[in-house]
Amino acid sequence: MTSKAFHVYRDFPFFFQEELEEIIQAHEKVVFQKGEAILQEGKMANEYYILEKGLARSFVNDFNGNDVTTNFFTENEIIIDVSSLFQRIPTQENMVCITDCECWKLDFDVFQELFHKIPNLREWGRAWMSQQLFLYKQRSVEMFTLSATKRYLHLLEQKSQVIQFAPLKQIASYLGVTDTSLSRIRKELVSHPKKN
């Protein structure tokens, strides 16, 4: 399988070719329709997915019942609820497809077998997890240190598919602003692109 989605493993320099092949072969191709749930609040994650095509998001419902986007998943990223999958607890998030999505699924039990069999997969897991922790920490700091305009520009630069395909309301909740504020930011960027 030569899918670009598997660069998530191939970019790790220490895998032997036969280890990579075994890991890749353990994945199963699955397709989700636009609007379909990948994981629902209260359920336990039993697999993770590598997103080959499409766009998905995770969200929670706040204390007022508002839907707040916690993450966007773009092509070649892993769709996972780490806590639910590895601590074997129900998830607090919902994960839903914004567009039709093609994914490669790896079941938890299969992952566990490979994890114990292939030491390099453990090293990959540690490296991936530390990178994700860094990204989450960076995002939480940016919510307080960057203006809403800069947060929007950062999202545009890093995940342009989100701006193309996600509804304004979902993007606004991810950035921690109202729909109206986000509309104003977008208008200002169009009329004064050099100011930012």
* Residue 185 maps to a domain: no
pLDDT at 2: 61
- Please provide residue 92's backbone torsions phi and psi, each rounded to the nearest 5 degrees: -100, -10
pLDDT at 194: 60
pLDDT at 190: 85
Confidence label for 195 from pLDDT (cuts 50, 70 and 90): low
The answer on pLDDT for 86 being more than 80 is yes
The answer on pLDDT for 118 being more than 90 is yes
* Residue 80 maps to a domain: yes
* Residue 94 maps to a domain: yes
Residue 24: give the domain boundaries: 6-119
Domain count, the chain: 1
The whole-number average pLDDT for the span 125-138 is 94
* Residue 139 maps to a domain: no
* Residue 14 maps to a domain: yes
Describe the strand order of the beta sheet including 28-32 as a list of residue ranges.
Answer: 28-32, 101-107, 47-53, 78-79
* Residue 85 maps to a domain: yes
What's the CA gap between 75 and 52, in Å, rounded? 5
pLDDT at 19: 96
* Residue 142 maps to a domain: no
Answer whether 35's CB lies under 8 Å from 96's CB.
yes
* Residue 113 maps to a domain: yes
| Long-range contacts of 190-194, Cβ-Cβ distance < 8 Å, separation of 24 or more | none
Describe the strand order of the beta sheet including 67-73 as a list of residue ranges.
Answer: 37-39, 94-97, 56-61, 67-73
